[in-house]
Amino acid sequence: MDVFHVVDAAGGKVADAGALLARLESSLSADALPPRPPPAAGAGTPTLLELVGADRPGLLSEVFAVLHDLRCGTVDARAWTHAGRVAALVFVRDEETGSPIDDAARVRRVESRLRHVLRGGALGARMVRADAAAVNMDRRLHQLLNEDGEAGSRADQAEAPTPTAVAVQDWGERGYSVVTVSCRDRPKLLFDVVCTLTDLDYVVYHGTFHTDDDHARQEFYIRRLDERPISSATERRRVIQCLQAAIERRASEGVRLELRINDRRGLLAYVTRVFRENSLSVTHAVITTRGDMAMNVFHVTDVAGRPADPKTIDEVIQRIGTESLRVDEERWPRLCSTEGDAGRGGGGAGIFSLGSLVKKNLVSLGLIRSCS
């Protein structure tokens, strides 16, 4: 039995609870899903590019320049950077015909050019046929960066303090491992944590998610697929690293720029080239095309990862077009450090007592007996 208390995106009461309930039932019930609409005539299914490599200033500019040079038009794309690595999903079609890119020789040429641009990586670049409606782009980006070993490389860089407190403890008498997370609340936080646990081949049996103002605490009872708890320090460390990375990599650093403009060939190559020529680095990108309109969001910093100079941002807006490009306030709050959490129970591994949140709820529901 799962129970959720929800608010709207602004943190207020849901205005139209009936409509929301209908959408939730449609999403959660396989029998209630409407039939998927057929693709547009002649459009076909776009080809999915999966890219992973070492991040550097101007990388996305080079990627989109290569795609434009090879006559590949971008339909939708997502790109995340974290801990010196970048992962991107790009749905492409032929710029002239709008058809999928499925010619074997052309696929090899695109992959080869992009691997050269990415300069290494566990995955590099690969093109696959995938239904855009069936791909959860956020979850796939998490998977790509986990497969690339980004969480481990981040941990090897330095023992710098992390803004996310994650602990893994044993509850041997019940045969569970208890994962506790404390960080600043934000949209899709629960999604990121649960999907990461699932992709690491753990099953969540019980869990509690609690928010206090802008702070979130999560606690999960988990086991491996073989129904055993976490059994070694190495496995425990891997879970902690992957969860910290999953939570932090979505935090969008830099100035948020929104671009809404009539789509045209080479648009992304041009826009990202302007960023590069003005010493701006893209940390996150969301590329969306609807009809003849491009609706894109970029988070940019300077090449050193520091806040961009407002004068530089103004120059970029003037060059691309004041009617098309604008600055928007950060919608995704930055993760808070654990320094201010003392009043909430501390930080790090000691942030929760074993089973504190889950145990109390399981007792109240009658699912386990209290031993106190």
Domains and CATH numbers, the chain: 47-150+255-328 (3.30.70.260), 161-251+336-365 (3.30.70.260)
Please list, residue by residue across 307-319, b when 16 or more beta carbons sit within 10 angstroms of its beta carbon and e when fewer do.
Answer: ebeeebbeebbee
pLDDT for res 160: 54
pLDDT for the residue numbered 30: 60
What pLDDT, on a 0 to 100 scale, did the predictor assign at position 152? 67
Least confident residue range of 34-38, 108-112, 346-350: 346-350
Q: Nearest to residue 218, comparing CAs of 230, 204, 232, 228?
A: 204
**Residues 276-303: what's their mean pLDDT?**
95
Q: Place 159 in a pLDDT band, splitting at 50, 70 and 90.
A: low
- What local confidence, expressed as pLDDT, does residue 360 receive? 53
The pLDDT of residue 25 is: 83
Segment among 85-89, 284-288, 302-306, 350-354 with least mean pLDDT: 350-354
pLDDT in tens, 218-231: 999 999 999 999 98
Give me the mean pLDDT over the 1-13 stretch: 81
Give every strand in the sheet of 215-224, ordered side by side.
165-171, 176-184, 215-224, 202-212
Q: What is the pLDDT of residue 175?
A: 92
Whether residue 174 has pLDDT greater than 50: yes
pLDDT at position 76 over 50: yes
CA distance 261 to 42: 25
C-alpha span between 293 and 165 (Å, rounded): 41
Indicate the angle between helix axes 189-199 and 233-248, nearest 10 degrees.
140
Could you tell me the pLDDT band of residue 346, with boundaries at 50, 70 and 90? very low
* Token code pair at residue 176: 């569970």
Q: What's residue 35's pLDDT? A: 52
372 pLDDT more than 70:
no
CB atoms within 10 A of CB 148: 20
State mean pLDDT over 126-154: 83
Task: Give the span between the Cα atoms of 31 and 73, in whole angstroms.
Answer: 35
